Chain A
């Protein structure tokens, strides 16, 4: 049997799809779902900023930060598989960005079992860990809050409507992109016996066509929105929208942010 000749053989667009499933998860009723949106949003922003703030060789300092998403995932009843499937599509971007570090930064930094690890390898690993942790935290935020409620909270925080609509449309566009990618991938794979994934040589044409098709589709969706009165701002009432923030919420926010920041100071 012929082996696949693709470095991207693991790329399967259906893994990107199901973004709407995240919104459905947001209708859950766990302790994390019940936390006020402001708390979740602020904690996630603080977490991502702190994770990104680590130096490029500081892998050890990042490791304790796995605790935050690793605790929230089971507490929010978010399936590990669902998180993993949505994390994967985000990883090629830091991978492509970070791989140049390995090429250009060849100075040995540490020895492990007689093998010298270069600065490039360490900084590459650091970029990957930061990306993984940040995307994981944001996915959990969406999966426990929902895009509509997040938009509502951003609006309450004074974020301009234009930025919120941009956020909403980008999110919807990702779903359109995933739909088109799935349809194209199925069509491709049905005519490519013995191939798993997309061949490197077909990748350029695939991505280019995908972009054109998804832009076309996005324009049709936008036309349908305009025909139903959309004029640049839309805030749907969110599932389980919360009212005023209470003292327990603020206490929770303080505790989480303090833990995140203290860990950073200690490292």
Chain B
């Protein structure tokens, strides 16, 4: 379970980015985070991962509260898939990219191999195991990026614009893949159809604050309201 309480965070120039955001994501729940550009979606995700210091408020994942000392522990419980898969895949081969996390946590190489092969199989990308990361298609890179996070067995996944760069087929495949995962997810997206297919709850972020929350039908079904939210 991920709990964010009254979180406030600002950009390095001091401008407020997140202003009093509170949200809870239950185990296995998939929540969409929508909002116009600059609404604070990516900043909220970076704050949850401890990449941006919070000015006030708290973040708790599976009973562990985020502090400077627990950031590493939180990153085991919460995994983030960044918007651009090229930022996520930086090793030469897919195997090494997926193995990067487990190796950092000091697992023996045999266990690393077992975990990597297991997650590649779960994501149906065993054939990409020894491929050069640079030479994958956007869809393959996206799935490999997700695998590189899933291998660490997080309870919660944060996905930043997961459907960007994808063609319709890769997008459909991604939806199917995400639906098959039991993880709790917070999905920041501009792709409202994607949010509707995947999520049972939608949160609207506007100027760093939550301005609406409800089921996909309640939030996405009213075009007038979406306009008001800047969408």
Contacts and interface: CB of A to CB of B under 8 A. Distances in A.
Contacts of A228: 75, 79, 100-101, 104, 148-149, 152
26 contacts: A20-B134, A23-B92, A24-B92, A176-B90, A223-B51, A224-B80, A224-B87, A224-B88, A224-B90, A225-B90, A227-B51, A227-B80, A227-B149, A228-B75, A228-B79, A228-B100, A228-B101, A228-B104, A228-B149, A228-B152, A229-B76, A229-B152, A230-B100, A234-B100, A234-B103, A234-B104
A158 interface: no
A230 B134 CA distance: 21
Contacts of B49: 223, 227
A106 interface: no
Nearest to A21: B132
B11 interface: no
B91 interface: yes
B152 A224 contact: no
B43 interface: no
Contacts of A220: 82, 84, 87
B55 to A, nearest CB: 19
Does more than half of chain A's interface fall in helix, strand or loop, or is it mixed? helix
Does more than half of chain B's interface fall in helix, strand or loop, or is it mixed? helix
Contacts of A224: 80, 82, 87-88, 90
A149 to B, nearest CB: 12
Interface in A193-248: 217, 220-221, 223-231, 234, 236-237
A217 B90 CA distance: 11
A224 B104 CA distance: 13
Interface residues of B, number: 29
A234 B88 CA distance: 16
Given A224-B82, A226-B75, 6 more contacts: A20-B132, A223-B49, A223-B82, A227-B79, A228-B148, A229-B105
Given A228-B149, A229-B105, A24 B132 contact: yes
Contacts of A223: 46, 49, 51, 82, 87
B105 A226 contact: no
Interface of B: 46, 49, 51, 72, 75-76, 79-80, 82, 84, 86-88, 90-92, 96, 99-101, 103-105, 109, 132, 134, 148-149, 152
Interface residues of A, number: 22
Interface of A: 20, 23-24, 172, 175-176, 179, 217, 220-221, 223-231, 234, 236-237
A175 B134 CA distance: 11
Nearest to A223: B51
B141 to A, nearest CB: 13
Contacts of A234: 100, 103-104
Nearest to B149: A228
Nearest to B76: A229
Contact of A226 (B51, B86, B88, B152): B51
Nearest to A235: B103
Contacts of B105: 229
Nearest to B78: A227
Given A23-B92, A24-B92, A230 B104 contact: yes
A221 B72 contact: no
Contacts of A20: 92, 132, 134
A229 B87 contact: no
Given A229-B101, A229-B152, A172 B92 contact: no
Contacts of B80: 224, 227
Contact of B109 (A172, A226, A230, A237): A237
A9 B225 CA distance: 54
A23 B90 CA distance: 13
A234 B90 CA distance: 13
A229 B76 CA distance: 8
Contacts of B87: 217, 220-221, 223-224
